[in-house]
Amino acid sequence: MNYIDIHTHTYYHGPEVTLVLNLFPDEPEKLELPALFSVGLHPWHVNELTWEKQVEHVRTSLENKKVIAAGEAGLDKTVDNSYEIQQLAFHAQLAAAESTKKPMIIHCVRSYSELLAFRKKSDLSLPWIFHWFNADAQIATELLRKNCYLSFGHMLFNEQSKAFRVFRTVNLERVFFETDDAGYSIQQVYEKAAAIRNTKTADLKTQILDNFGRCFQL
Ligand SMILES: [Zn+2]
């Protein structure tokens, strides 16, 4: 049974790993690799002059069957890029994801209230996966209520993190795991997660495969 790495920037051959390799819009040649993909314009790369063209590339990529999600896309208040343009780029990608019926992989930094408020009022049905989730339990609960998933990775190794505290009690039907090139293998992340939840890695693998099938309608 496979491990699922829901978000990584590096193509690798791991034993029994299903990869969702994240691509930026300007690297379509990588779609030839034997993997599944998410393609998105990252909020760090949003530029007033180029964002529309890049979102157009995202839209085209989403028509490829191997591209199962749009993203990572989202909002980040810790970078200098215009927050307004970030929002325009995000909403344009969301429209593309909705029209191709693909979930989104979300990059969210200091923007949980904005994204949650939007999610609540927009009545979207396709799931959003919050990669590198690191917010409090209240936000987690509200996101789960709105058909979102939370992805955990290296923050599980930091017992002081919000992610660690949320992961101790979160509904495992709403969880994914990721490496995000943060220095831990996906096997290490699963093992750590299993230890925190006092369960077996094999049971977690079954659960995440289940989640994967449900979230992506595979
Ligand atoms: Zn990433």
Q: Which of 10, 103, 26 has its CA nearest to residue 61?
A: 26
Ligand 1 centroid distance, CA of 31 (Å): 17
Greatest C-alpha distance within the chain: 50
| 71, β-bridge pairs | 105
pLDDT at 35: 95
Query: How close is the Cα of 182 to the center of ligand 1, in Å?
Result: 9
pLDDT at position 61, please? Answer: 96
User: Mean pLDDT for the chain?
Assistant: 96
Ligand 1 is a single-atom ion; what residues have CB below 5 A from it?
Answer: 180
Q: Where are the alpha helices (DSSP H) in 107-168?
A: 112-122, 137-145, 162-167
Span from the CA of 49 to the centroid of ligand 1 (angstroms): 23
Distance 72 CA to ligand 1 centre (A): 7
Interval between CA 7 and ligand 1 midpoint (Å): 6
Quick: pLDDT tens for 134-182.
Answer: 999 999 999 999 999 999 999 999 999 999 999 999 999 999 999 998 9
Span from the CA of 50 to the centroid of ligand 1 (angstroms) = 21
Residue 204 Ramachandran class (φ > 0 left, ψ -120 to 50 alpha, else beta): alpha
Q: How far apart are CA 73 and CA 59, in angstroms?
A: 13
Q: What is the pLDDT of residue 13?
A: 81
178 Cα to the center of ligand 1, angstroms: 9
pLDDT for 181: 87
Output Rg (C-alpha) for the chain, integer angstroms.
16
Those residues whose C-beta lies under 8 Å from the C-beta of residue 210, and which sit 6 or more positions away, are 173
Which stretches of the chain score pLDDT less than 50?
none
> Residue 38: how many CA atoms within 13 Å on its side-chain side?
31
pLDDT value of residue 108: 98
Task: Kindly list the structural domains of the chain, giving each domain's residue range(s) and its CATH number in brackets, ordered by start.
Answer: 3-216 (3.20.20.140)
Report the alpha-carbon distance of residue 154 to residue 50 in Å, rounded.
32
